[in-house]
Amino acid sequence: MALSSWSPELGFGEKVLTAAAVSTGPSLELCTFPSTLGSSVAAAALEQLFVVEQSLQGDYFKCNEEARTFLKDIAVAVKKLEEMRKDTIDLLEIESMELSRLYFLLETLPYNIRTELEECVRDARRLNLFEINQLQMKITRMNNEIELLKKTILDLNAINESLGEEQEELVKQHEKIVLSLNHTMEEKASTTIYINETYTKINMEREEIRLQKKCVQDIEKQIEKEREEYLKRKQKLNEEINEYKNLCKLKRQDTRQKKKELDKLSREVTKIKETVTTSTVVLSDHNLEIARLQASIRRWEKQIEDIKNSCNILKDKRHFFKSSREKLDDTSNFEKEELLRKIKEMAEKLHKTNLENKELQDKLNTLTRQYRIFVQEEDKIFLQKRKIHDENQKQMTFIAQKENFLSQRKVDIKNMEEGLVALNELYRATMEVYRKQIRILNDNLERENQRCVITQWKLICLQRKHGRWKAKMKTELQEYIDKIKATELRRTELLQETKSREKEINEYLVEIEKIATELKQEEEKFVIREKKLIEELTKYEEKFVKETESTKGKEDELFECLPQLQMAEEEYKSKSKRVDELNDILTAQKQDQNLLNSLIFQKTKEFSRYFNSVNLVCDGEETLKEIKNLTDKLSERDEKIEHISNWLQGNLAELRLLTEHGLAVGHPRK
C-alpha cells in the first residue's frame, strides 16, 4: 500500500495489484485490495512538489528562504498525509479482523452477553464519530493557517523588492577580500610546513636517543643476569664438589671398615685352619666346612676388589670435576672481559649521543623562539582578517536576501498558487478514497468471518495436540524426578559407606601400629635371646676345642677316663635336650612370625583397597613403608635364625661323632 518511486520524467509509476489476503489454508484466498486506493491525486500533487523542490535546489531558481521553507513544510505535510492514509488502511484491516472474531464469539456466546457486546460496539462507534469530528476541526484550523501563511508570503515579497540593489557592490568587495585571504593562507601554509618538518626531525632524533638508552639498559640487565647465572653455576659446582668429597670420605670409611672386617675374617680363617689341621685326623666331615669357608673368603675377596674399583672410579671423577671447574673458570673470565669491553663501548656511544642531544636542544630552543614570534604576528593578521570577513559576510547575507526577494518573487507566487490548487485536489481525492476503502472493507468483513472460523478450528486442533504433548512431558518429568531421587538415595548410601570405610581404615591403622610395636618388642626380646644363645655356643665351642686337643694326648688314658666319658655323655644328653628345647622355641617363633606375616599381608591388601577408594595418599604411603620395613626386618630375623639352627645342627653332629668315636675306642680296650 506504499507509493512507488518517483522519477522526474515519468512521475509516479502505477503499482501492480498486490493481494492483501490472509491465507487460512493451503487453497484459500478470500479478499484483495485495489492497487491505488486514492493515491493518483496524491501522486500528482507530490510530482508537482518534487518539481518545485528540484527547482529550488538548482542554481537558476532563486527564492526567499521563508518561501522555500514554506514549500518544504507543505511537501512534508503531504507526505505525512500519505503515511496517515496508509496507517488508516492498516488499522481498518486490523479492525476488520477483530470484528470478524467478535462476530464469531457473539454467535457462540449466550443472548445476555451478546446484547452487552452490541452495546459496547455502539459506544465504540460513537467514540469513532467523535474522533472524526475532532479531525475535521483540525483540518479547518490547518486551512486557516494556510491563509495566514499566504498573507505572510505577500508581505515578504514586498520586502524583497526593496532589497535588490546593494548585492552587486557587496559581491565585488567579497571577491577582493577572498583574494587577499588566499594570499595570506598560502604564506601561512608554507611556514607551517617548514615548522612541521623541523619538529619531525627533532622527534626522530629524540626517538633515536631513547632507543640508544633502552639498548644500554638492556645490555646492563643482560650483564646482571649473566653474573647471577655465573654465581649460581659456581655455587652449584661447589655444592657438587662438596657432595663428591663427602661421598669419597664415606666410601673411604666404608673401605676401612670392610678392611677391618676382612682382617677379622682372615684371623678367623687362620683360627679355623688351625682347628681344621688339628681335627683332620679325627673328623673328615670338616672338609665341607672348610670348602664353605673358602667360598666365603673368595666372596669377601671379590667384594674387596669391587670396593677398590669403586675407589678408583671416584678418584677419576674427582680429577674430571677439577678439570671441568678450571675450564668453567677460564670461560667465565673470558666472558667477563668481553662484557666489560662492551660496556666501555656503550659508555662512549652514550657520551657522543649526549653531546649530539645538547646541540639539538640548542637548535630546538632557537626554532621555538622564532616560531613563537611568528605565531604572534600571525594571530594579529588573523584578527584583522577575521574582522574584515565578518563585515563582508554580513553585507553578503543582506545582499543575498534582497536578491532572493526581488528576482524570484513572481516565480514563487506562481508555484505557491499551483501548490495550493494541488493540495485542495489532493484533499478531495483522499476523502473519496477513504469512502471507497470503507465500502471495500465492509465487503471483506464476511470473508474474514469465514477465515476466522477456519482459524478457530485450527486452534482447537492445536489445543488438543498441546494437551497430549503436555501429558507426555509431565510423565517424562515424573520419571526424571524419580531417577533424581534414586540417585540422591544412592549418593547418601555411598557417603555413609565411605564414612564407615574411613572408620575401618582408621581402626586398621591403629591395629597395624599396635602390631608394629609388638613386633619391635618381640624383636628386642629375640635379639636378647639370640645374644644369650651365641654366648652359650661360644662357650660350647671353646669346650669342644679343649676336648679335641685333650683327646689327642689322652687316647692311651681312656681306660682311666671312662667315668669321665660317662659324665660327658650325661652332659651331652642334657645339652642335647637343651638344644631340642631351643629348636622347639625357634619353631614356635617361626610359626608366630608366619602368622604375623600373613596378617600383615592381609592388612596391606585391605588398606590398599580402601586407600584407592578414599584417596588417602600420604598416610597410606607412610604405613606401607612401615609395613615393608617390618617385613624386611622379619626376613632378616628368619635368615639369622636359620643360620643359627644350621650352626647348632653342625655342632651337634660333631659332638655325636666325637662321642661315637670315643665309645668305639673304649669298647675294644675293655
Q: Which of 276-290, 371-385, 653-667 has the highest mean pLDDT?
A: 371-385
296 and 437 inside one domain: no
Q: What is the pLDDT of residues 519-536, one digit of tens each?
A: 778 778 777 877 777 787
Average pLDDT for 277-282: 59
Whether 609 has a pLDDT exceeding 70, the answer reads no
pLDDT of residue 17: 34
295 and 366 inside one domain: yes
pLDDT of residue 185: 77
pLDDT of residue 472: 83
21 and 160 inside one domain: yes
Q: pLDDT-derived band of residue 628, with 50, 70 and 90 as boundaries?
A: low
510 and 585 inside one domain: yes
pLDDT of residue 652: 60
From residue 611, give the alpha-carbon distance in Å to each of 321, 465, 597, 618: 46, 56, 20, 10
User: How crowded is the C-beta side of 73, counted as CA atoms within 13 Å?
Assistant: 11
> 125-159 burial by CB neighbour count: b if 16+ within 10 A, else e?
eeeeeeeeeeeeeeeeeeeeeeeebeeebeebbee
454 and 594 inside one domain: no
Which of 458, 486, 512, 470 lies closest to 628 in space, CA to CA? Answer: 512
What 8-state DSSP symbol labels residue 656? H
* Domain boundary pick from 348, 379, 398: 398
pLDDT of residue 670: 35
Asked whether residue 259 is domain-assigned, the answer is yes
Q: What is the pLDDT of residues 257-276, one digit of tens each?
A: 777 777 777 777 777 667 66
| Tally of domains within the chain | 3
515 and 664 inside one domain: yes
pLDDT of residue 210: 81
* Domain boundary pick from 383, 398, 413: 398
**Residue 628 CB neighbours (<10 A):** 12
Q: Among 84-88, 216-220, 328-332, 466-470, which is the least confidently predicted range? A: 328-332
pLDDT of residue 574: 72
Asked whether residue 473 is domain-assigned, the answer is no
Asked whether residue 479 is domain-assigned, the answer is no
Any idea what the CATH number is for the domain that residue 210 is in? Answer: 1.10.287
CB 4 within 8 A of CB 392: no
Asked whether residue 638 is domain-assigned, the answer is yes
429 and 389 inside one domain: no
C-alpha cell at 288: 665341607
Please state the pTM of the whole predicted model.
0.21
How far apart CA 584 and CA 639 sit, in angstroms, is 17
* Domain boundary pick from 380, 398, 416: 398
75 and 199 inside one domain: no
pLDDT of residue 648: 62
Asked whether residue 497 is domain-assigned, the answer is no
Q: What percent of the chain has pLDDT over 70?
A: 63
Asked whether residue 437 is domain-assigned, the answer is yes
Whether 97 has a pLDDT exceeding 60, the answer reads yes
248 and 356 inside one domain: yes
Whether 305 has a pLDDT exceeding 80, the answer reads no
pLDDT of residue 165: 66
Q: pLDDT-derived band of residue 129, with 50, 70 and 90 as boundaries?
A: confident
355 and 369 inside one domain: yes
Asked whether residue 483 is domain-assigned, the answer is no
Which residue has cell 680296650? 669
| Mean pLDDT computed over every residue of the chain | 70
Which of 146, 148, 157 lies closest to 419 in space, CA to CA? Answer: 146
pLDDT of residue 626: 59
Q: Helix, strand, or coil here: 109?
A: coil
Q: pLDDT-derived band of residue 428, with 50, 70 and 90 as boundaries?
A: confident
Whether 14 has a pLDDT exceeding 70, the answer reads no
Whether 611 has a pLDDT exceeding 60, the answer reads no
393 and 444 inside one domain: no
55 and 33 inside one domain: yes
Print the domain residue range for 275: 170-398
Task: Give the CA dihedral 597, 598, 599, 604, nearest 10 degrees.
Answer: 90
* More confident position, 522 or 6: 522
How far apart CA 485 and CA 469 sit, in angstroms, is 24
pLDDT of residue 34: 41
Asked whether residue 187 is domain-assigned, the answer is yes
Q: Is 121 exposed, middle or buried, given 0-12, 13-18 or 19+ CB atoms closer than 10 A?
A: middle
